[in-house]
Amino acid sequence: MIPGTAETSPARDAATLLVEALPYIRRFRDAVVVVKYGGNALAHGTPLASFAEDVVLLQSVGVKPVVVHGGGPQIGQLLARLGKETEFRDGLRVTDADTLDVARMVLVGKVNRDIVSAINVHGPLAVGLSGEDARLITAAAHTAALGFVGTVIGVDATILERLLAEGLIPVVATIGADERGQAYNINADTVAGAVAEALGAEKLVFLTDVEGLRAQPGDAGSLVRQVSAGELEQMVATGAAAGGMVPKADACIRAVRGGVRRAHILDGRVPHAILVELFTDVGIGTMVQP
């Protein structure tokens, strides 16, 4: 055995990984990648500091990341602390005026600030905003029964494009407003898909707390590696994609049919999941294509 071989093996592995990543780095330079991070990912997935490192690395090699985040569990925690009961209908939180105030405080004032601060540890890079800023997200009521739960009517990506052109990383909280200025809390998966479509993103990435889409929801071994938009529609129709996976699936379908090249559903608990998916041959999770 050559002296030092064992000790230099990690270095060789690192060099091999960098060489493997090089063509992907070249390919995705100047490409917009929208990453949905929040809610369950914040509570159970990638630690925020590690996520921030990944986003900064993407920006450092020429990718243009845009972070869209939710914060449902965090909203629920504050509502519980305030002694306010939460009612859900079809998986959506019934949102009266008081609940909307809490949602805005949590999403804009807490979660958004935490993500921006974690990224800015590495330099003056991240800018926090919500869909209310610069009329980024125009919203309308989802249904009257849900109160101030919104649906996306349109996305004006001008402010995002300006920030990206300045080499900055937009971090978007998913509060939108209608033409009269009434605010709405909007599902973050839906917003991420709409933002990716409006920007003509190369990729839309969802970080969640499962390994990806499953052909059989209860079977972790039935992970679907690749699926077309049509096949994914069928999975939703048959119940193979259910619960919290449905808005992700719907966002993926709309995005890839609206010009986004690929959408990905990744396990945010895997260290550096975004980097593995974008810059290695192996990849993880589920990829959705047109």
Residue 84, φ and ψ in degrees, nearest 5: -100, 125
Question: Which of 103-117, 216-230, 256-270 is predicted with the least confidence, judged by mean pLDDT?
Answer: 216-230
Please say if the pLDDT value at position 13 is more than 90. no
CA gyration radius, the chain: 19
| pLDDT for position 163 | 98
Using a pLDDT cut of 90, give the percent of the chain over it: 72
| pLDDT for position 63 | 98
Domain ranges of the chain: 29-72+109-128+159-176+185-289
- Tokens matching residue 159: 């402010």
DSSP letters for the chain: --TTHHHHHHHHHHHHHHHHHHHHHHHHTT-EEEEE--THHHHHSS-HHHHHHHHHHHHHTT-EEEEEE--HHHHHHHHHHTT----EETTEE-B-HHHHHHHHIIIIIIIHHHHHHHHHTTSS-EEEEETTGGG-EEEEES-GGGBSEEEEEEE-THHHHHHHHTT-EEEEE-EEE-TT--EEEE-HHHHHHHHHHHHT-SEEEEEESSSS-BSSTT-GGGB-SEEEHHHHHHHHHHTSS-TTHHHHHHHHHHHHHTT-SEEEEEETTSTTHHHHHHHSSS--SEEEE-
Please say if the pLDDT value at position 77 is more than 50. yes
Q: How far is CA 285 from CA 139, 271, 273, 282, in A?
A: 31, 13, 9, 10
Q: Quote the CA–CA distance of 213 and 232 in Å, as a whole number.
A: 9
Average pLDDT, rounded, for the chain: 91
| pLDDT for position 9 | 67
Specify the CATH class of 29-72+109-128+159-176+185-289 in words: alpha beta
| pLDDT for position 3 | 47
Please say if the pLDDT value at position 44 is more than 80. no
| pLDDT for position 1 | 41
Q: Are 39 and 106 in contact (CB under 8 A)?
A: no
